[in-house]
Structure 1
Amino acid sequence: MAPLVPSNSVYTSCYCEENIYLLCQEYLRSNAWENFVVFISNAHKTVALWSQKAARLEDNPVIWDYHVILVLRPRHKDTTEVNEPHTSWVYDFDTRLSMPCEWERYLCMTVPEGISPPIYESQFRVIPGELFVQHFASDRTHMLVKKLDQETDTEQRPSRRDAQYSSPPPIYAPICGPLALQEGITNNLMLNYVSMNGNYKDIYGFVVDRAGVDDIFRV
């Protein structure tokens, strides 16, 4: 059976990466499952995802710049119940589907095959949970509302003192993983996680297409 969502889970709307960071920390306490954080985006930052609570109509997709989910994959070598069905489980705070949801159902209902035009197709950055909680950092500047300079008619970032966010930030301090802090990194969200450049494996995971991510999590 899939682990239940902790009753004390923290959720902040529009901060999916932080919600998943905190949830991943909880599940890393158990060795029964392999934990993977998955960023969904593309080069245009326009991915069409179905079954999302934010959709105005239930059958319509939402176009996100990026989205983040957690996937738990069973460790076969630790399995003791031979007859127990095996599947990977998806944790998505923003889905209309169940949470957790079986991998096959989630992928089919959220990222159906044959999305057109290609600008809305998803790519997936897969990061082992252990690496993510160590290296992730966000100062939340991507959520700051830009101001228009009346004299130059150009957009500018507001100062921290008068910062306004497009959606209210979490009440806790910005997240900075232990190794990110050690390296003096305060923000790597957009450059190293949301970006889908490169398919090589490193501390920021690796990028695959729909078929590739299905191969990873279909048990």
Structure 2
Amino acid sequence: MRIRFKCSMVLHQIPLWHQKASHRADGVILWDYHAICIQKRKDSNLPHLVWDLDSSLPFPSPLSTYVSETIRPSFQLFSEFQRFFRIVHAPIFLRSFASDRRHMKDTAGNWLHPPPPYEAIVAEDGTVHNLNEYMEMSSADVIKSVGDDTKDDVYAQRLGVLVSESQLEEIFSLIS
């Protein structure tokens, strides 16, 4: 399961802790978006695992640990910030997502940071860039409540479902 998260403010940045790219002791950094993978374990008694290549936490980390240490829901954000999470089933995401890395260049076309060593990601249908569709989030698009229809939408919708911070762990209790 891939999730993307983003804030609703024009600045489009949210704090995440325990990130390798941080230069601070607490590992906090502001991301404009961030992608992780959450693995549902076959044994339902075992915790879901978060695979975050940018995290300095143990790899992988239990979902509850990741949420409390990296997302820190107890941390009071300014009222204009809201954290939303896009939950997309991994096979759908891998077939549909595309990024030609244009977001990594300045207006003159120069790299802001060196690009990853692997090729740009092209969707199965040939789309070369749709990152903005995954990043576009609004409080109006957040599901009202988590239920069985939510799970169905995760498995069927190209862009998955959008949940609030308080719904994040709840939705994974339904995912089988």
- Tell me if structure 2 keeps the 8 A contact 1:48–1:111: yes
Q: Which segments of 5 or more consecutive residues in structure 2 lack a partner in the other structure?
A: 144-152
Q: Say whether residues 1:110 and 2:70 are aligned partners.
A: yes
Q: Alpha-carbon deviation of 1:63?
A: 1.1
Taking structure 2 as the reference length, what is the TM-score of the superposition? 0.80
Q: Match for residue 170 of structure 2?
A: 215
> In percent, how many aligned pairs have the same letter?
26
Q: Match for residue 37 of structure 1?
A: 2
Query: What amino acid does structure 1 have at the position aligned with 2:123?
Result: G
Q: Alpha-carbon deviation of 1:172?
A: 3.1
Q: Quick one: which of 133, 139, 158 aligns to 2:94? A: 133
Larger Rg, first or second structure (1 or 2): 1
- Tell me if structure 1 keeps the 8 A contact 2:67–2:73: no
Q: Which segments of 5 or more consecutive residues in structure 1 lack a partner in the other structure?
A: 1-35, 148-157, 159-163
Runs (4 or more) in structure 1 with deviation over 4 Å come to: none
Secondary structure, aligned partner of 2:39: strand
- Tell me if structure 2 keeps the 8 A contact 1:111–1:122: no
- In structure 2, the CA distance between the partners of 1:177 and 1:199, relative to structure 1 (3 Å rule), is same
Q: Match for residue 62 of structure 1?
A: 29
Residues 101-180 of structure 1: pairs in structure 2 closer than 5 A: 101-114=61-74, 115-147=76-108, 158=109, 164-178=110-124, 180=125
Q: Say whether residues 1:88 and 2:48 are aligned partners.
A: yes
Q: Alpha-carbon deviation of 1:96?
A: 1.4
Q: Alpha-carbon deviation of 1:196?
A: 1.3
- Tell me if structure 1 keeps the 8 A contact 2:8–2:82: no
C-alpha distance in structure 2 between counterparts of 1:129 and 1:60, whole Å: 27
Q: Alpha-carbon deviation of 1:126?
A: 0.5
- In structure 2, the CA distance between the partners of 1:195 and 1:68, relative to structure 1 (3 Å rule), is same
C-alpha distance in structure 1 between counterparts of 2:118 and 2:77, whole Å: 39
C-alpha distance in structure 2 between counterparts of 1:127 and 1:46, whole Å: 20
Taking structure 1 as the reference length, what is the TM-score of the superposition? 0.65
**Corresponding pairs, count:** 157
Q: Match for residue 187 of structure 1?
A: 129
- Single out whichever of 203-212 and 50-59 deviates more from structure 2: 50-59
Q: Match for residue 32 of structure 1?
A: none
- Tell me if structure 1 keeps the 8 A contact 2:22–2:29: yes
